[in-house]
Amino acid sequence: MYQLKVQGAFEAAHQIPGYPGKCARLHGHNWVVEATVRGTQLDRLGMLVDFKTVKAALGAELDRFDHRFLNELEPFAGGVAPTAENLARIIFEELAPNEAFGQDGSDAKLVAVTVWESPKSSVTYTENE
């Protein structure tokens, strides 16, 4: 089994309504997001998936959050709290069906997304097994 990881990043502000502390106020983070891909079949070049391909797919997903107030974006504007946990799940759900995975007969698939809101605080969302 091979496991590949790539990272991307974006800067955005948010606030957590109802939080009993500072996070209820408007504040921002330099978010770092890691996508983990797993599989067993390598392509003709000996790659599970080209790092460049996964980085591009992740970057395209993260662009919609960059330099934005997350509370104004869907699904957060609809009442979903813009927490690191929800960001990890949403990014996973949007990225998983990307055609970057499973090219050339590969069985590669996204298995986890980790979101850091600080260098010491992260959350990982994994596929349901």
pLDDT band at 73 (very low <50, low <70, confident <90, very high): very high
**What are the residue boundaries of the structural domains of the chain, listed by start?**
2-126
Residues 6+ apart with CB under 8 A from 93: none
Q: Token digits for 63?
A: 């662009």
DSSP symbol at 83: -
What are the catalytic residues?
23, 67, 117
pLDDT in tens, 26-69: 999 999 999 999 999 998 889 999 999 999 999 999 999 999 99
DSSP 3-state assignment of 52? helix
pTM of the predicted model as reported, rounded to 2 decimal places = 0.93
3-state DSSP percent of the chain in helix, strand and coil, to 5: 30, 35, 35
Assess whether pLDDT exceeds 90 at residue 106.
no
Name the one residue in this structure whose structure tokens are 């797919």.
Answer: 57
CATH 3.40.190.290 is the classification of domain 2-126: no
Instruction: Of 112, 86, 120, 129, give the one whose Cα is nearest residue 7.
Output: 112
